[in-house]
A = this chain, B = another copy of it.
Amino acid sequence: MKRPNSSMQLTRAADYAVRVMVQLAASPKEQRVLLPDLAAVTDAPESFLSKVLQALSHEGLIDSKRGHSGGFQISNRGRRASMREVIEAIDGPIMLNSCLISGKACPRSSKCPAHPVWERAQMAMLNVLSQALISELALQHVQPLYSLQAIGSAS
């Protein structure tokens, strides 16, 4: 019955989404980043990351452009997003227990003393994830992908 480390855990897709959003937020405005470079810096398999990027683009958190000057770029909405928004864009609403699904009152909630504990646990976690803004995380030790190469080629 024990399934260590499997339940209550973020999906790999959402984990990669946070990594890639932070990396894109660290890139200079107007610069587009290529998929292989994003895959390398986020330690994500390229084909899987491609699907994550599609989903982020679909949710308006990044812009993608095909062709010679193409690549991925964070959108203005993405720059203002929190970790919670990025995770929920990929995984859907975070709910620690199915009794918390909004719009569908749990029939046990009036008599279940665990229900308010789940609400408090969920709120405590979501507060942390909502306060962590992608643009602020990007200011912490994250190197823009192409700056070192640009300096290298200029010297």
A→B interface (CB under 8 Å):
1-15, 18-19, 22, 43, 51-52, 54-55, 83, 89-99, 101, 107-108, 111-114, 117, 120-122, 124-125, 127-129, 132, 137-138, 140-142
Copy tally for this chain in the complex stands at 2
Are B2 and A90 in touch, CB under 8 angstroms? yes
**Given A7-B9, A96-B8, A98-B15 in contact, is the A113-B141 Cβ separation under 8 Å?**
yes
**Given A11-B3, A90-B2, A97-B10 in contact, is the A83-B117 Cβ separation under 8 Å?**
yes
Separation of A127 and B128 alpha carbons in the complex (Å): 13
Q: When the two chains form the complex, which single residue of B98, B108, B114 contacts A5, counting CB atoms closer than 8 Å? A: B98
In the complex, chain B residues whose CB is within 8 Å of the CB of A132: 114, 117
Are A1 and B51 in touch, CB under 8 angstroms? yes
